[in-house]
Amino acid sequence: MKGWKKSISIITIMAFIFPVYAAAENQIKDVYRLGEVVVSATRSEIPVFDAPQDVTVLSSEEIMASPFERVEDIVRSVPGVYNTRHYGTQKGGVASPIKMRGVGRNRVLVLVDGVPQNDNFNNAIAWVAWGHIPRETIERIEIVRGPTSALYGSEGLGGVIHIITKKPQSQRQSSIRAEAGTAETYGGSIFHNQKIKDLGLLLSGGYEESDGFYMTESPESYNIKRYREAGKVLGKVSYTTGEASDLTISALYYDHETGKGRKYFYDELQLDQYWMNYSQQTESLRLNGLIYLNHADKTAYQDTAKDNYTSLYRVEKLPSTNTWGADLQGTISSWEKAQLTIGASFKEASWKYDEDYPQSTRDAGAEGKQRFISPFTNLNFHLFQDSLFLDLGARYDWIKTSGGANWDTKPDGGAPAYDNRYSPEKNNNFSPKLGIAYHPDDKTTLRASGGKGFRSPSLFELYKVHVRSGGRYYRAANPKLKPEEIWSYEVGAERFLLDKLWGKATIYQSFAKDYIGDRLTNSYEKKGKTYNEYILDNINEVDIQGFETELQWYALNDLTIFGNYTYNISKISKDEADKTQEGQYLTDDPRQKIHLVIRYQNPRIMNITLGWNRYIDKYYDVDEVTQAKDNFWGADLAVSRKFFNKLTAYLNVENIFDSVDNEGISPGTIFNGGLKFEF
Average pLDDT of the segment spanning 187-210: 95
Inside any domain, residue 559: yes
- Percent of the chain past pLDDT 90, that is, above it, reads 63
Average pLDDT of the segment spanning 328-355: 92
- Residue 628 confidence (pLDDT): 54
- Residue 82 confidence (pLDDT): 86
DSSP H/E element including 4: helix 2-17
Average pLDDT of the segment spanning 517-541: 88
Inside any domain, residue 521: no
Inside any domain, residue 180: yes
Residue 165 clears pLDDT 70, i.e. is over it = yes
Query: How does residue 659 score in pLDDT terms, banded at 50, 70 and 90?
Result: confident
Average pLDDT value over all residues in the chain? 87
More confident residue, 146 or 3: 146
Domain that holds residue 658: 2-515+528-678
Query: How does residue 126 score in pLDDT terms, banded at 50, 70 and 90?
Result: low
Give the chain's domain count: 1
Which residues 6+ apart lie within 8 Å of 281 measured at CB?
Answer: 243, 244, 245, 287
Query: How does residue 18 score in pLDDT terms, banded at 50, 70 and 90?
Result: very low
Inside any domain, residue 204: yes
Inside any domain, residue 488: yes
Query: How does residue 349 score in pLDDT terms, banded at 50, 70 and 90?
Result: very high
User: Can you give the CATH number for the domain in which 23 is found?
Assistant: 2.40.170.20
- Residue 589 confidence (pLDDT): 77
Contact 417, 465 (CB under 8 A): no
Residue 28 clears pLDDT 60, i.e. is over it = no
Average pLDDT of the segment spanning 663-673: 79
Residue 122 clears pLDDT 60, i.e. is over it = no
- Please state, in angstroms and as integers, the Cα–Cα distance from residue 25 to each residue in 19, 31, 75, 87, 557, following that order: 15, 10, 30, 41, 17
- 459-504: pLDDT as tens digits: 989 999 988 877 788 888 899 999 999 999 999 999 999 889 999 9
More confident residue, 262 or 123: 262
Return d(Cα 323, Cα 250) in angstroms, integer: 16
Query: How does residue 287 score in pLDDT terms, banded at 50, 70 and 90?
Result: very high
- Residue 257 confidence (pLDDT): 93
Inside any domain, residue 308: yes
- Residue 499 confidence (pLDDT): 85
Residue 509 clears pLDDT 70, i.e. is over it = yes
Residue 348 clears pLDDT 50, i.e. is over it = yes
Beta bridge partners of 442: none
- Residue 467 confidence (pLDDT): 83
Residue 546 clears pLDDT 90, i.e. is over it = yes
- Residue 333 confidence (pLDDT): 87
Average pLDDT of the segment spanning 580-593: 84
- Residue 7 confidence (pLDDT): 37
- 381-396: pLDDT as tens digits: 999 988 999 999 999 9
- Residue 123 confidence (pLDDT): 57
In this structure, the chain runs to a length of: 679
Inside any domain, residue 523: no
More confident residue, 499 or 595: 595
- Residue 88 confidence (pLDDT): 56
**How many degrees, rounded to 5, is the angle at CA 41 between CA 540 and CA 433?**
45
- Is beta strand 55-59 parallel, antiparallel or unpaired with respect to 138-145? antiparallel
- Residue 60 confidence (pLDDT): 93
Inside any domain, residue 641: yes
**In sequence order, what DSSP letters do the residues of 464-494 get, joined into one string?**
--EEEGGGTEEEE--TTPPPEEEEEEEEEEE
Query: DSSP secondary-structure letter at 49?
Result: G
- Percent of the chain past pLDDT 70, that is, above it, reads 88
